[in-house]
Structure 1
Amino acid sequence: MKKKLGFYSIVLLTINSIIGTGIFLSPGGVVASSGDKALLIYFLAAIFASILAVTFAAAAKYVDKGGASYAYAKAAFGEKIGFYVGITRYIAASIAWGVMGTAVVKTVLSIFKMDSGNLMLVTVGFVILMAVLLGINLLGTRLFTIINNVSTICKVGALVTTILVGIGLVVFTGVNEFSTIKTLTDSTGKALGSQMDMPAYVMAIIAAFYAFTGFESVASGAQDMEEPEKNLPRAIPLAIGIVAAVYIGIVGVAMMINPAAIVSTTEVVALASVFENPIIRAIILGGALVSMFGINVAASFHTPRILEAMALQKQIPDYFSQRTETGFPIRAFFVTIGIAILLPMAFRYDMGNIIVLSSISRFIQFIIVPAAVMIFYFGYQKEDIVSTAKKSFIVDVVTPALALVFTVLLLYKFSWSAQFTITTEDGTVVANIFAIIAMVIGYIVLPLGLMLWQAHRIKSFKLEAN
Structure 2
Amino acid sequence: MKEKLSRSITTLGFSVLAINGFIGAGIFLLPAAAAESTGSFSPWMFVICGLLMSTIVLSFAQLASYYRGTGGPVLYANEAFGPLVGFQTGWLLYVGRVTALAANSNALIIYLSFLFPIFSDGIMHGFALSAVILLLTASNVFGVRSAMGTISVLTFLKLAPLLLFIVVGLAWIDVDQIFSVKDAPLDKVSTSLLLLVYAFVGFEGAVVPAGEAKDPKKSIPRALIQSVIFTIILYFLVQSITVSVLEQAGSSKAPLSDAAGVMFGSWGVLLLTITAILSITGNLAATFFAAPRMTYALANEKSLPAWFGKINEKYKVPANSIYFMSALALVLAISGSFVWLAIISSLARLIGFAVCMLALIKLKSKQDGLVEKVLQMFVPLLGLSVCIWLSTQASNQAWMLTLGFIVLGTGLYYLARIKR
Q: TM-score, normalised by structure 2?
A: 0.90
The aligned residue for residue 126 of structure 1 is 129
1:90 aligns with 2:94: yes
Question: Any idea what the Cα deviations from partners look like across 1:126-169, whole Å, max 9, x if unmatched?
Answer: 11011211221122222222222222122222211101111234
Distance 1:283 1:363 in 2: 34
- Residue type of the partner of 1:304? P
Residues 54, 395 of structure 1: 8 Å contact kept: no
1:416 to 385, 391, 395: 395
Give the superposition deviation at 1:456: 2.8
Give the superposition deviation at 1:252: 0.3
1:270 aligns with 2:267: no
Give the superposition deviation at 1:121: 2.3
1:283 aligns with 2:263: no
The aligned residue for residue 426 of structure 1 is none
Gaps of 5+ in 1: 183-191, 381-391, 421-434, 459-466
Residues 299, 308 of structure 2: 8 Å contact kept: yes
Give the superposition deviation at 1:335: 1.0
Question: Any idea what the Cα deviations from partners look like across 1:225-258, whole Å, max 9, x if unmatched?
Answer: 2111221111101111011111100000001111
Residues 67, 222 of structure 1: 8 Å contact kept: yes
1:20 to 24, 38, 43: 24
Higher helix share: 2
- Residue type of the partner of 2:51? I
Give the superposition deviation at 1:97: 1.0
Question: Any idea what the Cα deviations from partners look like across 1:100-121, whole Å, max 9, x if unmatched?
Answer: 21111221122223352x1422
The aligned residue for residue 359 of structure 1 is 346
The aligned residue for residue 80 of structure 2 is 76
Question: Any idea what the Cα deviations from partners look like across 1:334-367, whole Å, max 9, x if unmatched?
Answer: 11112111123232xx211111111111111221
Distance 1:83 1:297 in 2: 24
Secondary structure (helix, strand or coil) at the match of 2:117 reads coil
Please say which of residues 88-97 and 72-81 is displaced more in the overlay: 88-97
Give the superposition deviation at 1:209: 1.9
Q: CA RMSD in A?
A: 2.4
Q: TM-score, normalised by structure 1?
A: 0.81
Distance 2:191 2:99 in 1: 20
Distance 1:203 1:356 in 2: 13
Please say which of residues 103-112 and 393-402 is displaced more in the overlay: 393-402
The aligned residue for residue 52 of structure 1 is 56
Distance 2:114 2:375 in 1: 45
Distance 1:326 1:229 in 2: 25
Residues 158, 284 of structure 1: 8 Å contact kept: yes
The aligned residue for residue 327 of structure 1 is 316
Structure 1 segment 3-402 matched on structure 2, within 5 A = 4-114=8-118, 116=120, 118-169=121-172, 178=177, 194=185, 196-197=186-187, 200-260=188-248, 262-266=249-253, 269-276=254-261, 277-324=265-312, 325-347=314-336, 350-379=337-366, 396-402=376-382
Give the superposition deviation at 1:86: 1.7
Give the superposition deviation at 1:3: 6.0
Residues 366, 373 of structure 2: 8 Å contact kept: no
Give the superposition deviation at 1:312: 1.1
1:404 aligns with 2:384: yes
Distance 1:230 1:395 in 2: 22
Query: Residues 237 and 259 from structure 1, CA distance in 2 versus in 1: closer, same or farther, beyond 3 angstroms?
Result: farther
Distance 1:451 1:323 in 2: 21
Give the superposition deviation at 1:217: 1.6
Aligned residues: 406
Gaps of 5+ in 2: none
Secondary structure (helix, strand or coil) at the match of 1:275 reads helix
Give the superposition deviation at 1:292: 0.8
State the identity %.
Answer: 21
Query: Highest Rg: 1 or 2?
Result: 1
Secondary structure (helix, strand or coil) at the match of 1:26 reads helix
Distance 2:376 2:283 in 1: 29
Query: Residues 112 and 245 from structure 1, CA distance in 2 versus in 1: closer, same or farther, beyond 3 angstroms?
Result: same
Give the superposition deviation at 1:415: 5.0
Residues 305, 416 of structure 2: 8 Å contact kept: no
Please say which of residues 217-226 and 295-304 is displaced more in the overlay: 217-226
Give the superposition deviation at 1:177: 9.8
Structure 1 segment 448-463 matched on structure 2, within 5 A = 448-457=410-419
Residues 178, 257 of structure 1: 8 Å contact kept: no
Residues 2, 326 of structure 1: 8 Å contact kept: no
Query: Residues 220 and 244 from structure 1, CA distance in 2 versus in 1: closer, same or farther, beyond 3 angstroms?
Result: same
